[in-house]
Each structure stands twice: as structure tokens, then as C-alpha cells.
Chain A
Amino acid sequence: MSLFKYSSPTAFYPLAGKLVPWFAALAAIFAVIGLYLGLFVAPEDFQQGEVYRIIFIHVPAAWMAMVIYLAMAMYGVMALTFNTRLSAMMMEALAPTGAIFTALALWTGALWGKPTWGTYWAWDARMTSTLILLFLYIGYLALINAIEDKKRADKAGALLVIVGSVNVPIIYFSVKWWNTLHQGASVSVTASPKMAAIMLWAMLIMAIACWTYAITISLVRVRAIILERERGRSHSTRVANTLSATNIVAGS
């Protein structure tokens, strides 16, 4: 049962606390290297000139939008099958970050679209399905906050996220299945990358930066959620008491 030790919020709380500074440091280091390579070292593109540099944030953000949603769906399955409290808490912790990355991908894509395609927005399959992903994130957050009973809120939220997960393969394969304005994948598992090596490296390092940032911020958030939800249970009260002495936790 040692593997399941950390599925208990009480056991996970200190572990998450220990991991946060490490992931935060990694995120900062990779972001600095990635941005330096992307903005200063990588040359301009043969067609787009400087505008293409948006990919160093746009592509990692779009990846994270999908990855975080899949992670939430996975936690959703675990929450419904094993009834683990922590899984639902992780979902709640991941959702805002996923929503922000989705919004970032849409926003940077629009800024890139105007100078390259000639329009900020087009209702093509890739963009429309990504917009639906943003609505799924927002819908999940609205749903779990609308239901008073936390247990029921978690179940409803998990169900929504699991059902919505069919959208993720649609986003990913949309450029393959249909004619879209959005270009196909430059980087995929099955084909060699269609990018110059230095551009690819900068993008991959930025992707790692986004991963580690997402892990950092969701660990911080899940710690807050654990404190909030486990209020009244012995461990949480102990931590909250120590914290309220220093005025960090309000309203507990």
C-alpha cells in the first residue's frame, strides 16, 4: 500500500510543499534558457520573418491546454472509481492553469493570425475545438463552484471532464482529418520535425518550462485546497493554526 500513501491529502500536503521550490526553480531556469534561445539565438523564419517567434509560447501553451485536460480526465476517472479525495482536489487545482494556457494559446494564435493569415479568427476545426476546450474548463470551474455539497460537486465535475475528454483528440487530429486554415503539426511522434534544430530546441525547452510551471502552480493550489477542504480534520487544523498565527490564511 506504500504506493497509495500519497493519495491521502494529509500525506500529500508536506510532499507537495517539498516539491514546489524544486519545480519553481526548474520552471524559471528553463524559461530563461528557452526565451533566450527563442528570442535571441534562433534566426528569423524564411517566410514569416520575426512573427513566427510566437510559437515559443503558442505551441507549448496549446500542448499544455490538452495535456492538463487529459490529466484532469485521468484524475476524474480515479476520483469516480477509487473515491479518492485527493484526485478531485487535483482536478480543481489543475483547471485554472489549463484554462489560462488555453486562453493564452487562443490569444497568441490570434495575434499571430492577423499578420500571417490576414485574420484574427476563423471558424476552422482546430480553432473552434480549442475554443470548446476553453469553455469546458470554464464550465467545469463554474459547475463545481455552483454545487454547495463538495462531494456532489466533485462527482459532477469529474463526469463533465471525462465526457469532455473526447474533444482532445479532435483538437489534436483536426488538422489531419479536415481542411483547416491552421497548419499541420510541425512536431509529431510519427514524423521527423519540420523545423530547424535551434527553433525546435527553443520550443521544446519552453515546453518543459510550461510543464514545470504548471506542476508548480497546481501543487501550490492543491495545498491551499487541501487546507480549505480538510478544515476540521486534525492535521489541517494544526497547519491552519500555525499559519493563522502569521496571518497567511484568511477566513479560516
Chain B
Amino acid sequence: MKARHRRFMWIALGLLVIGVAVTLVLRAFNSNLVFFFTPSQVAENKAPVDRTFRIGGLVTAGSVKRQPDGLTVTFDVTDTAKTIPVTYTGILPDLFKEGKGVVAQGKIGQDGVFRAAEVLAKHDENYMPPEAAEALKNAGKSIDGSMFAGQKAVPTQAPKPN
């Protein structure tokens, strides 16, 4: 084996070791790396209690209600399996819409209502002119299917029958 082959082997081996180490670290910190929890994860008590965290999901169509004070908004966040009611006082982002993705930061109360301190719109990766979107809608096709792309990283284990 020539000296340069040996050097290359050391570099490759080093990279492999670092790669494995980083993978293990990332797996260990998996729950800290997710930006938000889905309503299903909250229902499974995977979200922190008495601590600020973020929930993410789609705003349920028809659930957005403005309170008389004009600033407080209530809406439901759903991942199509579970739903969490959210209340928020403040200005909503422009892309906040019913049926679209949203990420809210706050605490969940005893009553199960999520009190958000900050609401962000989560945008999807679809780009098209308005006419194309209209055509898709008329054809009955969904254009927002990407909200939970990251969910695979946090496998939800099905309860085993005893």
C-alpha cells in the first residue's frame, strides 16, 4: 500500500466514524430537533407539559373565529387525526389561511386550549400561477400535502395488543 493510499484510507475511515457519531447524536436528540409537535404527538403526551413548545398542523376549515376585541383569534389546528383548539392575540401572518399550514408557539392549558404567543404560517413547496391552482382545485386535487413530511422522523408506535 502506497503512502497516499494509506492517507486516503485514514480520511475515509475518519469521515465514516464522524458520520456514525453524528448520526447517533442526531438520533438521540431527535425530539429536540423537531421544530414543532403535531396534534397527534400532543395527544400522546409527547409534547412538554408546563413548558413553551410549538404545535404545527393545518388550520381546520371554518374554525377561524375573531373575538369581539378584534385582535384575539381562535382556530383549530389539525393533522387530520387529532385537533387542538388554539387562541391567539396579535397580528396573524399574511399567509395564515384556513386549510393551510401553521406553526404556533405557546403553552397548553388545563382546559386543553393552546394559548399561542406567536403564530407563523408554514408554507408548502408548491409554486404555481393562480390560474393553475384554480384548475387543480376544480379538478378536485389537493395541493397541500407536505405539512407532515418531517413526521417520519418521529415514528408513532401503534399500541401493541396485549
Contact = CB atoms under 8 A, between A and B. Distances in A.
Interface of A: 43-48, 52, 55, 77, 80-83, 115-119, 122-125, 162-163, 165-166, 170, 175-181, 183-186, 194-196, 199
6 nearest interchain CB pairs?
A118-B93, A46-B133, A43-B129, A179-B150, A124-B35, A186-B125
Contacts of B153: 176-179
Given A46-B130, A196-B132, A181 B7 contact: no
Contact of B149 (A45, A125, A176): A176
Given A77-B11, A165-B15, A122 B125 contact: no
B36 A179 contact: yes
B5 to A, nearest CB: 8
Given A81-B11, A186-B126, 11 more contacts: A43-B130, A48-B95, A81-B7, A115-B93, A118-B94, A119-B118, A163-B18, A166-B19, A179-B153, A183-B124, A194-B126
Contacts of B118: 118-119
B39 interface: no
Given A176-B149, A179-B36, A122 B120 contact: yes
Nearest to A46: B133
Contact of B95 (A116, A175, A176, A177): A116
Contacts of A184: 124-125, 146, 149
A119 to B, nearest CB: 6
B150 A185 contact: no
Contacts of B36: 179, 181
Nearest to A164: B18
Contacts of A186: 125-127
A122 B129 CA distance: 28
Contacts of B26: 170, 177
Interface string B10-33: 010011001100100010001001
A81 B8 CA distance: 5
